[in-house]
Amino acid sequence: MKALFLIFHGFEAHNGISKKILYQVEGLKQNNIEVMLSYLLIDKNGFHKRMVNDRIIENYGKGLFAKIKKRICYDKLKSYILKEQINLLYVRHDLNANPFLVSFFKSIKDNNINIILEIPTYPYDNEFIHASWKDRLQNYIDKLYRNSLSKTLYRIVTFTNFSHIWGIQTINISNGIDFNAVKLKSNNKTNIDELNLIGVADIHAWHGYDRVIRGMINYYKYNRDIKVYFHIVGNGIEQVINDLKQITRDNNLSEFVKFYGPKSGLELDLLFDFADFGIASLARHRSNIVNIKTLKNREYAARGIPFIYSEIDSDFENMPYVLKAPANEESIDICRIIDFYSRLNMTAKEIRESIHYLSWKNQMKIILKTPINS
């Protein structure tokens, strides 16, 4: 079988989504699928290009017109798909349902090629309530055309428990992990004189890092023997990050809350070696999401560190190294984290081994069990 994995953006070295896509492609290859990856690229001269692997499929040119063309022009990509006799078009949804994409998908379906659409987060409309006008407009257009788009789809891949989305049958999988790409934490703490919390994310309001900082404000109102530090790693929504920095400064916590920006490779590995406890999503309720299987939960487990989250993730609900937080706006109880961590009796290796079944090879195999035209 030949598959084309289609995305509507490029790649960044520090970006978790970029890494995930590459892991998924590798997972398909490990299941003996011949897979090509199509993505957008802006070269050093400012030219916008549609790529398949290292091959230029279309050069859209430069400037505003090029930015528009790459969102509406799919004829050359269609020609490539037909010429290469692709059997499966696997698409990562970019909240970009529009008449041009619908027309492209319809032409692909008419050629007896199955289209599987992955929706990374669902439902997602509430994420745009406080977004920029540009993002709200994109979401509005997506709402207008998602029903038409759905009629071209074979299945929808979701990381939730929904059996149908937009009237289309779903394939339910978990976010996976590439164990070869995620280093196991090498430092296991034996005594607790300080606790280092780490949050790694493309930071949005739904991560709820403000709940942790407010918890630290309450914690440091007293003379604590155990020093607690919160290491925040990553870029994200500028206003959210600025608000986190402001509340940190206003409450004299700059010594204990550190902002690192994006890190990857050895720098990120060293931060995880230093860290004791992971901060995952603590405010998915702000986006009206209850059930979700986030990539970050799996990364923390693969690193071998315990962590806290507030949503429902069926892969981790009963894991002994997971601390659940209430899905509300309460400050996180730092003393509760300290007590949980001090009682935990698992090594980093044991935590990692508990999720061996969550490899991307196994997760992509679930998708391929669905009958596909070939």
- What pLDDT was estimated at residue 16? 80
Tens-place pLDDT, residues 129-147: 878 898 899 999 999 999 9
263 plus 348 within the same structural domain:
yes
Q: Is 183 a member of any domain?
A: no
Give CA–CA dist 32/354, Å, rounded: 26
Boundaries of domain holding 231? 194-357
Per-residue pLDDT reduced to its tens digit, 194-227: 999 999 999 999 999 999 999 999 999 987 889 9
Residue 186 domain-assigned (yes or no): no
Helix (H), strand (E) at residue 228: strand 227-233
Instruction: Name the phi and psi angles at 139, rounded to 5.
Output: -65, -35
Q: How far is CA 177 from CA 11, 84, 97, 231, in A?
A: 18, 30, 28, 23
According to DSSP, the β-strands at 55-61 and 48-52 are: antiparallel
Q: What are the backbone dihedrals phi and psi of residue 337, each rounded to the nearest 5 degrees, phi first?
A: -65, -45
Please tell me the distance from the alpha carbon of residue 209 to that of residue 216, in angstroms, as a whole number: 11
pLDDT of 252 higher than 80: yes
- The token duo for 78 is 């269609």
Q: What is the pLDDT of residue 162?
A: 94
Other Cβ atoms within 10 Å of 156 Cβ, number? 23
Please report the pLDDT score of residue 371 as a whole number: 77
The reply to whether 155 and 277 lie within a common domain is no
The answer to whether residue 187 is domain-embedded is: no
Return the residue matching tokens 């405010």.
283
Classify residue 185: in a domain, yes or no: no
Q: Does 137 lie in the same domain as 36?
A: yes
353 and 215 co-located in one domain: yes
* Residues 332 and 205 occupy one common structural domain: yes
Residues 211 and 170 in one domain: no
Interatomic CA distance for residues 364 and 300, integer angstroms: 21
Alpha-carbon gap, residue 7 to 77, rounded angstroms: 12
Which helix (H) or strand (E) segment holds residue 2: the answer is strand 2-6
Q: Report yes or no on 251 lying in a domain.
A: yes
Sheet order of strands, 277-279 included: 257-261, 227-233, 194-200, 277-279, 307-309, 322-324
Contacts of 339 (CB under 8 A, 6+ apart): none
Please, are residues 262 and 221 in contact by the beta-carbon 8 Å criterion?
Answer: no
Q: Are residues 363 and 341 in the same domain?
A: no
Residue 206 tokens, joined: 């739904």
Whether the pLDDT of residue 374 is over 60: the answer is no
CA distances from 85 to 50, 88, 110, 116 (A): 19, 9, 14, 16
pLDDT at 128: 86
CA-CA distance, 297 to 301, in Å (whole number)?
6
Judge if 324 and 272 occupy the same domain: yes
Q: How many domains does the chain have?
A: 2
The pLDDT-based confidence of 151 (bands split at 50, 70, 90) is very high
Model confidence pLDDT, tens digit, residues 53-66 = 999 999 999 999 99
pLDDT surpasses 70 at 13:
no
- Asked if the structure places residue 337 within a domain, the reply is yes
Tokens of 226: 């155990």
Whole-model pTM: value is: 0.83
* 128 and 247 share one domain: no
Residues 343, 364 within the same domain: no
CA distance 167 to 36: 29
Average model confidence (pLDDT) across the chain? 94
Q: Are 364 and 316 members of one domain? A: no
Which secondary structure element, helix H or strand E, spans residue 100, and what is its range? helix 99-110
Q: Same domain for 164 and 199?
A: no
Would you say residue 189 lies in a domain?
Answer: no
CATH number for the domain that contains residue 201? 3.40.50.2000
Distance CA 237, CA 244 (A): 11
- Band of residue 367 on the pLDDT scale cut at 50, 70, 90: very high
Residue 182, in any domain of the structure: no
Q: What is the pLDDT of residues 281-322, one digit of tens each?
A: 999 999 999 999 999 999 999 999 999 999 999 999 999 999
Q: How far apart are CA 201 and CA 264, in angstroms?
A: 12
Q: Compute, in degrees rounded to 10, the torsion defined by CA atoms 314, 143, 98, 5.
A: 0
